[in-house]
């Protein structure tokens, strides 16, 4: 193995490539569709450097796990802590209590290096969109820190029982096994595979393999290897998209590209060692930290595209300032006495962030800042709570649970995805003796033989769900009406697949329409009366956030109402299509209910109709149901 770790300008330049890929992707995904692979490149670099530090220390018998942790903390904690503090201070002026409290929880998980778990828990269908999470990018730091915790402990333990050659082989085999597992797990559990260490560790370990098994080659082969590595990374950033399962097997290409560049060890590369890449590489960590809040800011305030270029400039400026005044500040404490660990400066930054988060969380987002005497965080939390219909039990899979029915002999079935869930409260509230059973599964629309091509696991689960619904309907003798609703827009925009077929494709609109028509015909042939509920009108913005902010500032809620013309084109197409079905099927158009004179209402007095971009709130659904007699509209 290499005997020393000198500063590698090629690796510093590789950092620049990685951070530029991520930043460009986040500011405009059209520029670099697969730029998120830059994070994976960072993981390879980190694994290379950490393996070098650990093996070098173990070889000389002076490796200290505690000193290793302290050194990593000095590198990562100060800039991250300052970012968290600044963002939370900014939030005091611009975020309502719901958002502010969420920010504080995210900041606490970031500084505690568990934010990847926090964001995984929030990965459900009803969760806040990614561009509303100011510290979402810190998930990668958490995964990396967890690797820092476990990796040296495992290697120190292995040193007691293995030779160095055996340890090297362990890292190599672990990398291969980790990649195979990653490819499998990503197809089955995409959310956890994206955020958690178990499918990312192999990327860092491959960096370790680069350190433990260095290539020996002449200058020509070295340059050729670098070009191949760069080609793999660039091709990945251009050809892979965020619709591809990630990390999965596709992550091999940018990760292996980074591995080859590290192995090439080009000391005079014009690609990685030019002055611009060297500067950006040095500032890369801080640039990465600051760019994402700037991205969110653009989305949060609905700023024009010109602000993207300002955001890019500020990312570099703030990255430079953070590097110069925070990263290079002397945070070191060389004392080995345990009592002096209390003088370890990064600890006080962590404590400061923790205290600030605690005050904001326990103070319910400091809701006392509100200009509205009737405003409270608890009231808003209830108003914006995810609307699962009768129960959260009904969200994930087929169930005959008592929680998902109002009568043992139902006459109305509500079937569909979350856009079917959110009308259930309205249907039930509009009748004193409702006879309803709810069959709903997030993202699984009411097609008997068609589903979104989300992941292999989702495809299997959705098709199984719809099969179970069909079998239950065929065996039931009390049901008369089947209410169907879904976010059909997703099926017009994303890949789909048919039952019994392996083909996944972007289906023409006519195919989607025809398959839904087939489902309606099948229901009629079984003796049921289909009833279609359209999705509510939307305007591509988070309507609930607008209502929350206006109420917080005691301002006019009608600001959040919007013109019918602002509905996205795909939704207008869906509504036109569903309206055309009213000639043959009972169809309830929510835009007819919510929109009048070309303006769509988002509230009635202080009741929020929406809980996010498009789902009805529980109270909003009940209000609409009672005002418009949903149950009677279905059965009469």
d(C-alpha 67, C-alpha 161), whole Å:
23
User: How many residues are given for the chain?
Assistant: 636
SS3 68: helix
Specify the pLDDT at position 455.
81
Confidence of residue 454 (pLDDT cuts 50, 70, 90): confident
Place of tokens 């995805």: 417
pLDDT at 330: 75
User: How far is 131 from 210, CA to CA, in rounded Å?
Assistant: 35
Q: Which tokens hold the place of 391?
A: 């129960």
Q: Which 8-state DSSP code applies to residue 46?
A: H
**Element housing 256 (H / E):** helix 252-264
Q: What is the mean pLDDT of the chain?
A: 93
pLDDT at residue 579 greater than cutoff 90: yes
C-alpha neighbours within 13 Å on the C-beta side of residue 44: 30
- Taking 50 as the threshold, does the pLDDT of residue 4 lie above it? no
**Is pLDDT above 70 for 342?**
no
Q: Where are the alpha helices (DSSP H) in 363-404?
A: 377-383
The answer to whether 189 and 457 have CB atoms below 8 angstroms apart is yes
Range in 3-17, 239-253, 454-468, 563-577 the model is least confident about: 3-17
pLDDT category of residue 513 using cuts at 50, 70 and 90: very high
- In angstroms, the CA 628 to CA 626 distance is 6
Q: What is the CATH number of domain 392-537+568-597+618-635?
A: 3.40.50.1110
Residue 575 in this model has a pLDDT that exceeds 70: yes
Q: Which helix (H) or strand (E) holds 416?
A: strand 412-416
In 552-620, beta strands by DSSP E: 562-563, 586-588, 595-596, 599-600, 603-604, 607-608
Report CA-CA distances (Å) from 39 to 258, 583, 617. Answer: 11, 52, 36
Helix axes 275-300, 306-322, angle to 10 degrees: 120
DSSP state of 451: E
Four-point Cα dihedral 430, 434, 440, 442, nearest 10? 30
Q: What is the share, in percent, of the chain residues with pLDDT greater than 70?
A: 96
The C-alpha atoms of residue 112 and residue 550 are separated, in whole angstroms, by 33
- CA 450 to chain CA mean position, Å: 25
State yes or no: pLDDT of 1 exceeds 70: no
Residue 296: phi and psi, rounded to 5, are -60, -40
Evaluate if residue 334 carries a pLDDT over 70.
no
In 509-553, beta strands by DSSP E: 529-533
Rounded to 5 degrees, φ, ψ at 532 are: -105, 130
Which residues of the chain are in CATH 3.40.50.1110 domains?
392-537+568-597+618-635
Task: Check the CA dihedral 603-608-613-614 and report its sign.
Answer: negative
Contact yes or no for 421/392 (Cβ under 8 A): no
How far is residue 491's CA from residue 462's CA, in Å, rounded to a whole number?
Answer: 14
Q: What is the pLDDT of residue 187?
A: 87
Q: Is the pLDDT of residue 57 over 90?
A: yes
Q: Determine the pLDDT at residue 5.
A: 60
What's the whole-number mean pLDDT along residues 44-50? 97
pLDDT at 131: 85
| Residue range 386-415, pLDDT digits in tens | 999 999 999 989 999 999 999 999 999 999
Instruction: Tell me the per-residue pLDDT of 69-90, one tens digit each, with 9 for 90 and over.
Output: 999 999 999 999 999 999 999 9
| Lookup result for tokens 């301002």 | 555
Q: Is the pLDDT of residue 341 over 70?
A: no
pLDDT at 553 over 70: yes
| Average pLDDT of the segment spanning 508-527 | 96
For residue 481, what are the β-bridge partners?
412, 529
d(CA 446, CA 465): 10
| pLDDT confidence tier of residue 279, bands split at 50, 70 and 90 | very high
Separation CA 561–CA 536 (nearest Å): 13
pLDDT tens for residues 189-243? 889 999 999 999 999 999 999 999 999 999 899 999 999 999 999 999 999 998 8
In degrees, to the nearest 5, what angle opens at C-alpha 196 toward C-alphas 190 and 201?
A: 110
Q: pTM score, two decimals?
A: 0.89
Q: How confident is the model at residue 452 (pLDDT cuts 50, 70, 90)?
A: very high
In the β-sheet with 529-533, what is the strand arrangement from edge to edge? Answer: 436-440, 412-416, 481-485, 529-533, 586-588
SS3 of residue 563 by DSSP: strand
Q: Distance from first CA to last CA of the chain, Å, rounded?
A: 80
| pLDDT at 210 (0 to 100) | 97
pLDDT tens digits for range 85-139: 999 999 999 999 999 999 999 999 999 999 999 999 987 655 667 888 999 999 9
Centre a 10 Å sphere on the Cβ of residue 239 and count the other Cβ atoms it contains: 12
């Amino acid at each position: 193995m290499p005997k020393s770790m000198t500063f590698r300008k090629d690796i510093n330049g590789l950092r620049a490539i990685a951070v530029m890929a991520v930043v460009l992707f986040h500011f405009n995904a059209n520029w670099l569709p697969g730029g998120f692979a830059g994070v994976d490149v960072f993981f390879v670099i980190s694994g290379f450097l950490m393996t070098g530090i650990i093996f070098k220390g173990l070889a000389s018998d002076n490796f200290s796990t505690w000193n290793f942790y302290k050194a990593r903390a000095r590198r990562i904690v100060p800039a991250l802590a300052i970012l968290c503090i600044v963002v939370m201070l900014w939030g005091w002026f611009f975020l309502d209590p719901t958002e502010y409290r969420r920010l504080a929880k995210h900041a606490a998980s970031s500084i505690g290096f568990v934010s990847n778990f926090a964001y995984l828990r929030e990965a459900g269908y009803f969760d806040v969109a990614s561009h509303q999470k100011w510290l979402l990018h810190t998930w990668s730091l958490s995964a990396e820190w967890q690797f820092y915790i476990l990796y040296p402990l495992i290697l120190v333990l292995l040193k007691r029982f293995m030779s160095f050659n055996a340890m090297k082989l362990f890292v190599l085999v672990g990398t291969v096994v980790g990649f195979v597992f990653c490819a499998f797990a990503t197809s089955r559990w995409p959310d956890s595979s994206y955020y958690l260490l178990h499918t990312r560790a192999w990327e860092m370990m491959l960096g370790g393999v680069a350190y433990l098994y260095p290539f020996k080659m002449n200058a020509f082969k070295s340059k050729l290897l670098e070009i191949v590595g760069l080609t793999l990374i660039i091709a990945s950033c251009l050809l892979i998209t965020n619709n591809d399962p990630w990390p999965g097997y596709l992550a091999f290409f940018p990760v292996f590209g980074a591995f080859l560049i590290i192995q090439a060890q080009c000391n005079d590369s014009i690609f990685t060692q030019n002055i611009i890449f060297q500067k950006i590489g040095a500032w890369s960590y801080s640039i990465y930290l600051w760019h994402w809040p700037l991205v969110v800011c653009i989305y949060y305030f609905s700023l024009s595209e010109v602000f993207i270029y300002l955001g890019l400039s500020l990312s570099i400026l703030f990255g430079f300032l953070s590097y110069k005044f925070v990263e290079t500040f002397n945070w070191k404490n060389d004392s080995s006495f345990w009592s002096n660990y209390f003088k370890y400066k990064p600890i006080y930054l962590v404590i400061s962030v923790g205290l600030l988060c605690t005050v904001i969380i326990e103070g319910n987002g400091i809701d006392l800042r509100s200009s509205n005497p009737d405003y409270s965080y608890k009231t808003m939390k209830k108003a914006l709570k995810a609307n699962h219909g009768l129960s959260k039990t009904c969200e994930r899979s087929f169930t005959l649970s008592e929680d998902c029915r109002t009568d043992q002999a139902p006459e109305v079935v509500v079937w569909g995805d979350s856009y079917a869930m959110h009308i259930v409260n309205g249907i039930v509230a509009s009748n004193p003796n409702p006879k309803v059973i709810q069959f709903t599964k997030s993202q699984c629309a009411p097609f008997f033989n068609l589903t979104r091509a989300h992941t292999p696991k989702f495809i299997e689960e959705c098709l199984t769900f719809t099969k179970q619904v069909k079998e239950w309907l065929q065996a039931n003798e009390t049901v008369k009406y089947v209410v169907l609703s879904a976010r059909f827009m997703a099926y017009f925009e994303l890949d789909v697949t048919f039952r019994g077929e392996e083909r996944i494709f972007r289906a023409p609109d006519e195919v989607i329409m025809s398959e839904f028509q087939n489902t309606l015909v099948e229901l009629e042939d079984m003796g049921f009366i289909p009833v279609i509920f359209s999705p509510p009108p939307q305007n591509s913005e988070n309507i609930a956030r607008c209502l929350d902010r206006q109420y917080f500032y005691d301002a006019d809620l009608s600001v959040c109402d919007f013109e019918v013309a602002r509905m996205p084109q795909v939704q207008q197409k869906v509504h036109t299509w569903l309206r055309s079905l009213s000639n043959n099927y009972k169809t309830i158009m929510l835009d007819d209910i919510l929109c009048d004179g070309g303006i769509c209402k988002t509230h009635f007095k202080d009741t929020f109709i929406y809980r996010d971009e498009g789902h009805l709130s529980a109270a909003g659904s009940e209000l609409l149901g009672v005002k418009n007699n949903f149950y009677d509209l279905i059965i009469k």
